[in-house]
Amino acid sequence: IVVTLFLEFWKRRQARLKYEWDLVDFEEEQQQLQLRPEYEAKCTQKKKNPITQEMEPYLPLTSQAVRFCISGATVLFWVSLIIASMIAVIVYRLAVYAAFASLMENTQTLQPISGLLTPQLATSVTASCLNFVIIMILNFFYERIAIWITDMEIPRTHMEYENRLTMKMFLFQFVNYYSSCFYVAFFKGKFVGYPGAYTYMFNRWRNEECDPAGCLIELTTQLTIVMAGKQIWGNIQEAIVPWICNWWGRRKARNNPENLYSRWEQDHDLQIFGALGLFYEYLEMVIQFGFITLFVASFPLAPLLALMNNILEIRVDSWKLTTQYRRPVAAKAHSIGVWQEILNGMAILSVVTNAFIVAFTSDMIPRLVYYYAYSENDDSPMSGYINNSLSVFQISDFPERNEPKENPENFVICRYRDYRYPPDHERKYLHTMQFWHILAAKLAFIIIMEHVVFIVKFFVAWMIPDVPADVKAKIKREKYLTQKILHEYELEKLKERLCQGDKRATEKEFIATEGRMELSRAM
């Protein structure tokens, strides 16, 4: 709901800015008639434009199909590379966990902090840092690949070029930044099996389980490292790198006297903002918007971190644009374009992801099911919940592959988190009825929550008009005055013609003019 309010109030703010900058009647469709110079240079064949009725270059359909196939295959390859890197990080988690456990057990210097720095936490933090480094490396290379394949497609207009590049970059960034978070939130610990029948990756590493406290804490750790690391790295790229480049350029010019190195030459030697300068600013904000909406149920402090970062970044960007870059070339824009649709899509997706996080990643639903259906203590309904959530496994049922190497205490049974029948039951180790009750409750919660939130979301969007009433009135007033001026001008012309004697035809034109004026007033 908060996201919907943000987007609706942004539309109102956008409409007000559009009016103040006199862009109400500016149609971006006009840009469809402006061909890119690269398109005109690379397309040798020509055909007649049905709108302008002029001959203009065009790209044959077969050439477009080949270029789109190459582009799609390249994007698919890089997305597959991201998924492969995520699997590599998962393998790192599985391989390193045992090493951390052994290191902390055998190293005396780590004994005082063993209560705080558990093997699970150490594995999670190091894996998150490794994942962040991989994200930055892949992002560095893909930015250049995305521009190359978009140039290879030879888009017809500047708007078409920006839209294609935007979708490629956003798709990659979405998978790159959010894939690890989706894994921790929705897949980790869900397919581990049970003692005696564990699930193995590549038949070698046992699938990792969540921390005893659940996967929410690990998802929070992942979000904190990736989100904070991205913001810090982004500020370094935006501020420190241009400053170093400009400092190095001024260092070369120190040998010249001041009167030979004029101010306009110093300004010309600053960094170039470039045609894609605002593109990267939009992309950064959209990725941040995803972090604070898609996973806000697991990390409620994410919006606060984003606010603090944006307050700092406003000052950094103002300093950067006024001191480190040449003055950007202004260009008209009717709106933020395709970014608005991307934000709306992420707002809808955030409802689904947060519903699944609350249902499947947190313990809220199992606790509620126990509270209302399985609690046996009326005075303290949640007493016995932990014991109820742990199943029993008989150690003698371990296969040889999973059998414990040591059992000095001669334990007969062990406990694990799941809802399965005990070994003395006729359906031993199969899921109990409580498991299916909890699963049904989770699915019901998701369906009810999604429908309620979607209804409220669309109702709020319908209640808040996209254009403020005063702006709408001013626009109508300007259109009315324009029609009035045109009407008075036509009346003056008609009076001149009446004086010249063409009375009959002029009376018809006068009646038509009056009709148009009445119609404009009604509108």
Is the pLDDT assigned to residue 516 strictly greater than 70?
no
Q: Which band of pLDDT confidence, cut at 50, 70 and 90, is reported for residue 124?
A: confident
pLDDT at 416: 84
User: pLDDT grade, residue 112 (50/70/90)?
Assistant: low
Kindly tell me the number of DSSP H helices and DSSP E strands found in the chain: 16, 8
Token digits for 305? 């971190």
Residues 168-192: what's their mean pLDDT?
84
pLDDT score of 447: 92
User: Can you tell me the mean pLDDT for 421-445?
Assistant: 89
Residue 28 has what DSSP assignment? Answer: G
CA dist 395 and 402 (Å) reads 10
* Owner of token pair 């950007």: 328
For residues 138 and 81, is the Cβ–Cβ distance under 8 A?
A: yes
DSSP 431: B
The CA distance from 21 to 25, in Å, is 11
Portion of the chain with pLDDT greater than 90, in percent: 4
State mean pLDDT over 82-99. Answer: 81
Nearest residue to 374 (alpha-carbon basis) of 284, 18, 72, 382: 382
d(CA 21, CA 7): 21
pLDDT at 423 over 80: yes
pLDDT band with cut points at 50, 70 and 90 for residue 505? low
Bigger pLDDT: 427 or 120?
427
Q: Is the pLDDT of residue 444 over 90?
A: yes
Average of per-residue pLDDT across 2-22: 88
Q: How far apart are CA 78 and CA 76, in angstroms?
A: 6
Let me know: does 38 contact 154? Beta carbons within 8 Å: yes
The phi and psi torsions of 205 (rounded to 5 degrees) equal -105, 130
Better-predicted residue by pLDDT, 158 or 437: 437
- Cβ pair 270, 327 in contact under 8 A: no
Q: Cα(231)–Cα(312) distance, rounded to whole angstroms?
A: 10
In single-letter form, the type of residue at position 409 comes to: E
The model's confidence at residue 445, banded by pLDDT at 50, 70 and 90, is: very high
Which amino acid is it at 500? Answer: Q
The domains of the chain are located at: 35-106+116-209, 384-437, 469-522
**Residue 76: pLDDT over 80:** yes
Quick one: pLDDT band at residue 448, thresholds 50, 70, 90?
very high
What are the pLDDT digits (tens) for 44-67? 777 777 776 777 777 888 888 888
Model confidence pLDDT, tens digit, residues 13-34: 988 988 888 877 776 555 555 7
Q: Which helix (H) or strand (E) holds 203?
A: none
- What pLDDT score was predicted for residue 407? 74
Handedness of CA 387, 389, 393, 395 (dihedral sign): negative
Residues 153-182, buried b or exposed e (16+ Cβ, 10 A)?
A: bbbbbbbbbbebbbebbbebbbbbbbbbbb
For residue 411, give every residue at least 6 positions away whose Cβ sits within 8 Å of its Cβ, in sequence order, or none. Answer: 395
H or E segment to which residue 6 belongs: helix 2-20
In this prediction the pTM is: 0.80
pLDDT digits (tens, 9 = 90+) for 468-495: 889 888 888 888 888 888 888 888 887 7
Least confident window among 195-204, 348-357, 358-367, 512-521: 512-521
Quick check: helix, strand or coil at residue 498? helix
**pLDDT on residue 504:** 53
Q: How far apart are CA 153 and CA 163, in angstroms?
A: 12
Give residue-wise pLDDT tens across range 351-398.
999 998 888 888 888 899 988 888 888 788 888 888 888 888 888 888
Q: How far apart are CA 421 and CA 423, in angstroms?
A: 7
- Which residue in the block uniquely carries the two structure tokens 């260092």? 251
Please give the Cα distance from 347 to 350 (Å, whole number): 5
Q: Indicate the residue type of 181.
A: C
Six token digits for residue 495: 């009076």
Say which residue, 289 or 510, is predicted with more confidence.
289
Whether residue 256 is predicted with pLDDT greater than 70 in this model: the reply is no
Distance CA 451, CA 445 (A): 10
DSSP classification of residue 211: B
Sign, CA dihedral 485-486-492-494, equals: negative
Q: Is residue 50 classed as helix, strand or coil in its secondary structure?
A: coil
Overall average pLDDT of the 214-233 stretch: 82
Average pLDDT, the chain: 81
- Residue 364's CB is within 10 A of a number of other CB atoms, namely 15
Partners of 271 in beta bridges: 325
Residue 443 — very low, low, confident or very high, per pLDDT cuts 50/70/90? very high
